[in-house]
Structure 1
């Protein structure tokens, strides 16, 4: 399980030109932001392009993206993005990063329907070549012979990807599980996996999310039955929250609601988008007509089921607004129930607890998977990983999709089964061939932050200043100068987060000290406006430091009169 060092080549471009390599830029060593590169004979291919969610330790932003700079520098050789399934941590970055990547996208019909909606929102529909590949279909991208293999997951048409080159075959699993009774879609293609193994597989690059969990992940059918029993017996309004992209769970909740005789309302725009895409692709076609949000109040409480987004405590999602009593239509209170049909993604514990606490304060009964059987994972537990190994019989296992704890535990399991492993993390260059798989190089990696309509470096000046403002505040000093550079009147100081309207005495002290400091600046500063502004900022920063013990972001504005 030790990391292989191998031979370091002069450049990663040479690695790709002379062999078959794997370079994860996101999702390996972390949860989310899955973005994987495969290079062969000078050509490149990306598998998935997802987003991640910033936790409470990054209050300056909400959505994260993997930094594609390495592949953008050679995007002429990028043949396409191949999508394994529609979860946001695998497709959420496509529309946002495509203007930098500018390559075709390959996806199954359902994934294409979801991606098309995202591209339309971004105004990219006409620019992106979106190629639809049937579930289990085969296609070729340059030196890569590709075949989808259907896998069960919590959303339809999840695919593993068999990647065959002249150096051998690698199976990139995507997200998967073995479920004999999926609610939506078919079972995993075990016959196809065995046939692939019979032909010979060099390595599996596999989901490690549940590598620490012994046994089996469980069946969606069992969750559906449990939800039906729960909802049938509950009084008042019932709300169920899960991921909008978990179409299997959405289907189970809808069926449970119908069985309980409840009308169903969708709360959250993403739910409507995913259900529309699913129906366009032939799924959920027997779903009932949904109650519009504005009509919720016309349905008796005991006959109403709300399907709500926001299971991870996202502050802008529908459930957080319901918990804060700020949603314009959906209201929950004493005697109502919210069922969390989801797991807690690491890093979201605090935000989820805040939402649950808000619901409890309103008298809402909160049910989680700690209380009742409301959730099964869409990822393989250890028995399923063992089964995959025995079907495919790879020479190597490359754990991905998880934190380092997940990856190392997965590697230990594979080695217990007699399979060699190589542990990689984002930025490692793993050469599959020629020769034995080994890490031969590294590339720069990083994270980008989605800031409204733009994308900025997470560690760049904008986000650094945002974080500084969050913890230390911001101060703006304004003053007027005459033609000779002499101060006119009293400067004004605005300090959001430090001074409020009731601090008139303290504000006057700060402004008076700022005036005195400006008046004492050396005459030489007055000859150069830039030098004057720099000296004024430094002086105001010292004044604020003395009064508040803080180092806020400081700006000054000089007005010439």
Structure 2
């Protein structure tokens, strides 16, 4: 791809056509600017992995021309991949205080804190990363200090909204800066790259103040232990839960590592100032049931989260059962439905009452609904609308709304290069994109050999054969065959496979027996033949060779 010519272009590497993994690029006169760098959940169709990241390969190759990475807010789908991908980007990072505080902890855990040039900016700040002239605009979202980003260039101005909503009573932080958007609209906006998450939801997003009042009433009427699960970064919600507990004479304990980390970040930045320090999960054991409220991680059914382990009765400190109540003060992220329902089923089986936003006013979205979108278009008046941050049905609904509001919509998918510097905006190129899996501390390509083998093992299982050969290449003893997930150790079929495997190996030509690589492949083929067709599976097959 030619990156030397003068132009303005927008290129999403993640987050367009999907929920999560936001990684967006702007190019101007050969220089690159990155906006956000987040993770996503794999969902039900990829059980071999849990956490996904956008593949930064394209921009990593252009890293010498990457002037910076701007973080719009501290949600994991916008900030969660930074510590994993920064070594390939190696650029300065710009963020507000809360996002920077969250990011410092992540960078510290990754051993990168001393290497990253992290710039902390005020909400609404203006800053220069030539050839880009940038300005934050404060917006309301379900995390403190969320910012829209104004990208000014000699070709025109682009508004990158990030995640936002309109809420006259956000409780934590200021309302969305409507005056700044109106001023921008008067100046003229070439394109608006805008959040599409709730583009299919009629009406307005709703106010956090309404949730606070409802939670206070709900908690007051519940006996027994109460556990509330929500997104850890929603500081306003955590404050509302804490105040509801305080009004009902309950102490608050936090359960889950991400909640403890976010509480620390919030208090460091001056949030939760009038909320007493939370108890630890160990302290919760000594509080009477009717005087305890726990805030617990795991609203999305994450397998290793605190709530999932509590539901499975494997948590070391907390258990829930008959007479207890769990409140889901969150929404289901698309793709997580099955995991969430499984946790809720396990809780109900244990006698726990489960309440959700379908039963009570315990959650409002942090994303703009259709009336909010209409109001923003009326203020900003962009020439072009570029829907991002959503699956295709969200992008299409957003595009139709934008057209109704007088903007020309342009639908993209990850990898599309949208040129904005000519008389007409158009997709002029595409670049390779992909996904990486976070596997422990490793990053693995989704199409690589490790995950391909894992997918095959999930579908067909694995069979491992072990053979011992003497110095003359003769088979010693009976080969051992292990087939976890396919055959029980005492299954007669296992003995049959072992015997057939031994016969097949014994028949191998002499020249094969003394050629190690050839012998290994021949032994695998012998084991596959021994398995035959009875299992009606195509497992991963491997062989251990021992020479004595």
Give the TM-score taking structure 2 as reference length: 0.99
Distance 2:318 2:274 in 1: 25
Q: 1:238, 1:337 within 8 Å by CA — same for their partners in 2?
A: yes
Aligned to 1:440: 428
Are residue 345 (structure 1) and residue 333 (structure 2) matched?
Answer: yes
Give me the whole-angstrom Cα distance separating, in 2, the residues matched to 1:187 and 1:550. 58
Report the alpha carbon displacement of residue 361 of structure 1 after superposing the two structures with TM: 0.5
Counterpart of 2:447 (choices 450, 456, 459) is 459
Report the alpha carbon displacement of residue 435 of structure 1 after superposing the two structures with TM: 2.4
CA–CA separation in structure 2 for the residues paired with 1:128 and 1:194: 36
Paired position in structure 2 for 1:418:
406
**1:293 offset after TM fit, Å?**
1.0
CA contact (8 A) 1:183 1:221 kept: yes
Q: Which has the higher mean CA deviation after the structures are superposed, 249-258 or 128-137?
A: 249-258
Paired position in structure 1 for 2:542 = 555
> Are 1:25 and 2:10 an aligned pair?
no
Inter-partner Cα distance in structure 1 for 2:246 and 2:364: 21
2:3 corresponds in structure 1 to: 13
- Provide the residue aligned with 1:208 in structure 2: 196
Contact between 1:177 and 1:380, CA under 8 Å: does it hold in 2? yes
Give 2:531's match in structure 1, choosing from 544, 549, 554: 544
- 8 Å CA contact 2:53, 2:437 repeated in 1: yes
Q: CA deviation digits over 1:300-325, x for unaligned, max 9? A: 11110000110011110011111111
The superposition leaves residues 184-224 of structure 1 with CA deviations (integer Å, 9 ceiling, x where unpaired) of 11100011111111111111100000000111010000011
Contact 1:544–1:550 (Cα < 8 Å) also in 2: no
1:132-180 CA-to-partner distances (Å, cap 9, x unmatched) read 1110001011200000000000111000000000000000000000100
Distance 1:12 1:554 in 2: 45
Partner residue in 2 for 1:398: 386
- 1:522 aligns with 509
Deviation at 1:493, TM superposition (A): 1.1
Deviation at 1:509, TM superposition (A): 1.2
Q: Tell me the equivalent position of 1:509.
A: 496
In structure 2, the partner of 1:5 is none
Aligned residues: 548
Contact persistence 1:545–1:551 (CA under 8 A): no
What is the match of residue 248 of structure 1?
236
- What stretches of structure 1 move > 6 A for 4+ residues in a row? none
Aligned residue for 2:46, secondary structure, equals coil
Q: Secondary structure at the match of 2:98?
A: helix
Per-residue deviation, 1:345: 0.8
Q: Is the 8 A contact 2:504 2:530 kept in 1?
A: no
Select the residue among 361, 371, 375 that pairs with 2:363.
375
- Which residues of 2 match residues 156-171 of structure 1 at below 5 A? 156-171=144-159
1:189 aligns with 2:177: yes
Distance (Å, rounded) in 2 between the aligned partners of 1:513 and 1:97: 49
Q: 1:486 aligns with which of 448, 471, 474?
A: 474
Q: Counterpart of 1:4? A: none
Q: Hey, what's the Cα distance between the residues in 1 that align with 2:516 and 2:17?
A: 49
Question: Which stretch of structure 1 is more off in the superposition, 529-538 or 199-208?
Answer: 529-538
Q: Name the TM-score, length of structure 1 as normaliser.
A: 0.96
SS in 2 for 1:252: helix
**Does the Cα contact within 8 Å between 1:70 and 1:443 map onto a contact in 2?**
yes
Which residue of structure 2 lines up, in the alignment, with residue 234 of structure 1? 222
The 3-state SS of whatever aligns with 1:148 is strand
Question: Within 1, Cα distance between the matches of 2:148 and 2:367?
Answer: 13
In the other structure, the counterpart of 2:67 is 79
Q: Deviations over 1:327-372 (max 9, x none)?
A: 1111211111100001111111100000000010111110011111
1:121 and 2:71 are equivalent in the alignment: no
Q: CA RMSD in A?
A: 1.0
Q: Which runs of 5+ in 2 are unaligned?
A: none
